[in-house]
Amino acid sequence: MALFRKVLVANRGEIAVRVIRACRELGIATVAVHSEADAEALHVRLADQAVCIGPPPARDSYLHVPALIAAAEVSGADAIHPGYGFLSENAEFAEICARCGLVFIGPSPENMRQWGDKVSARALAARLGMPLMDGTGVLRDVDEAVERASALGFPVMLKASGGGGGRGMKVVRSAEEMRRLYPQARAEAEAAFKNGDLYCERYVEQPRHIEFQILGDGRGRAWVLGERECSIQRRHQKLVEEAPSVAVTEEMRRDLGATLVRAMRESGYTSAGTVELLMDERGRLAFMEMNTRIQVEHPVTEIVTDVDLVEQQIRIAAGLPVELPEDGFVPMRGHAIECRINAEDPETFVPWPGLITEYVPPGGPGIRVDGGIYGGFRVPGAYDSLLFKLIAYGVDRAQAIRRLDRALAETIVGGIRTNVALHRRIVADPDFRAGRLSTRFLERLGVTGARG
């Protein structure tokens, strides 16, 4: 098979720019879609064609399937890359693409349904031999939630079955709290995912968030490309990611990696995906969920493995062979750390859209910037606050930290507030430099609004 002639990028911001760049290197023409608020966005400027698909609200533009399909048809695209977020894990959208003669560059609808529901994903992970956190199935009502949580032992984490990103998640420390928080979590889950189903897991007070990058070709071959540490979060949203994790030993990496390669081969997984796990205080890893898409933090894996994950997604979707090690293990070298630079107040995390009056990204040895902004661009308030990702690479973690510290000091974004100052605090912290991390890191740092 041959590569595609033209790819429509069904996304915006830095991930749309990232996909356009990968297509350009492969000689593939691109179509940008945009809302009225994004008419002057960088991804619109970089693509070969651009189509306006609606007003600013995402439901009327980036989530509006008929407009996306129409844009693909009028522009002559033969494939759609969804990026992350929006429709990237929507099995129905992937099926609609296929019915319209468009290739969906991502996992199959079957893969998305297998892994998309968190409760069924836990059952599948158990069958495939992955380690699991103690938990429940879908809870019928608040009375069963109290009963099952009491059996597990408080505290527990109440979670939405239909999605992630912190929506519908509540730490519950007593039966009384369960009766108060259960209706809130159910309402949040219903609003976010059109699915109010909830379940419980044992809550770990000081966990590390570890995730493994995988690729599958859908034809019986799969690969694991090492792990990432994503423990520094606020309100269950990742803020700093790095590869590899200082908490994962080579033995753990090989043992779990072998399980994941076997699991992805047996499940016929296609394209890129991420298996997310929690590590408890004793260093034990347990499956949490799987994301059937490219991740925001994929650049740190690309840097330490020298594998272009977006290119591999495109090649796999086109039916071309993947030239990676036959044993399924892609080695890592050196260390990479990523900071998400957001348009927000660095203490309260309140979004801060507006006109960027000046933008000077950092550079120098070992620095990569993946972004979707420029000086003079007006950041809209209708979407996620991510401006760009700053990634530093070094031969070891110490060098990566030194380069990241320098790059943050060089970064200039005028006209709006960003969280650069918060990242500089993180990088300067002795616990960060020593690798003493957990999802409670920002609380220990004294950051207001770190929990949510």
* 311-317: average pLDDT: 98
On the question of pLDDT at 1 being above 70, the answer is no
On the question of pLDDT at 165 being above 70, the answer is no
293 is catalytic: yes
Q: What percent of the chain has pLDDT over 70?
A: 98
On the question of pLDDT at 450 being above 90, the answer is no
Work out the pLDDT band at 167, boundaries 50, 70, 90. confident
CB atoms within 10 A of CB 268: 17
Work out the pLDDT band at 194, boundaries 50, 70, 90. confident
What is the helix (H) or strand (E) element at residue 412, kind and residue range? Answer: strand 412-414
Confirm if 130 and 263 have CB atoms less than 8 A apart. Answer: yes
From the list 18, 208, 293, 403, the catalytic residue is: 293
- Using CA atoms, how far apart are residues 153 and 172, in angstroms rounded to an integer? 10
On the question of pLDDT at 83 being above 90, the answer is yes
Q: Provide the pLDDT for residue 300.
A: 98
Question: By three-state DSSP, how is residue 187 classified?
Answer: helix
Work out the pLDDT band at 122, boundaries 50, 70, 90. confident
Identify which has the larger pLDDT, 94 or 126. 94
Which residue ranges form the domains of the chain, and what is each CATH number?
6-105 (3.40.50.20), 134-202 (3.30.1490.20), 208-444 (3.30.470.20)
* 135-158: average pLDDT: 94
Scanning the structure block, which residue is given the tokens 């977020």?
A: 85
* 209-236: average pLDDT: 96
pTM of the entire predicted model: 0.91
CB atoms within 10 A of CB 223: 25
Work out the pLDDT band at 408, boundaries 50, 70, 90. very high
Identify which has the larger pLDDT, 193 or 364. 364
> What pLDDT digit, counting tens, does each position of 224-265 carry?
999 999 999 998 899 999 999 999 999 999 999 999 999 999
Confirm if 259 and 287 have CB atoms less than 8 A apart. Answer: no
Lowest-pLDDT choice from 96-105, 278-287, 306-315, 413-422: 278-287
> What pLDDT digit, counting tens, does each position of 371-387 carry?
999 999 999 999 999 99
Residues in the chain: 452
Q: Provide the pLDDT for residue 88.
A: 97
- Using CA atoms, how far apart are residues 81 and 3, in angstroms rounded to an integer? 13
On the question of pLDDT at 452 being above 60, the answer is no
- Using CA atoms, how far apart are residues 55 and 191, in angstroms rounded to an integer? 21
Q: Provide the pLDDT for residue 390.
A: 98
* 298-314: average pLDDT: 98
Q: Provide the pLDDT for residue 97.
A: 98
Q: What angle in degrees, to the nearest 10, is found between the helix axes of 420-428 and 397-410?
A: 150
Identify which has the larger pLDDT, 168 or 291. 291
On the question of pLDDT at 57 being above 80, the answer is yes
Q: Provide the pLDDT for residue 451.
A: 65
- Chain mean pLDDT for the chain: 95
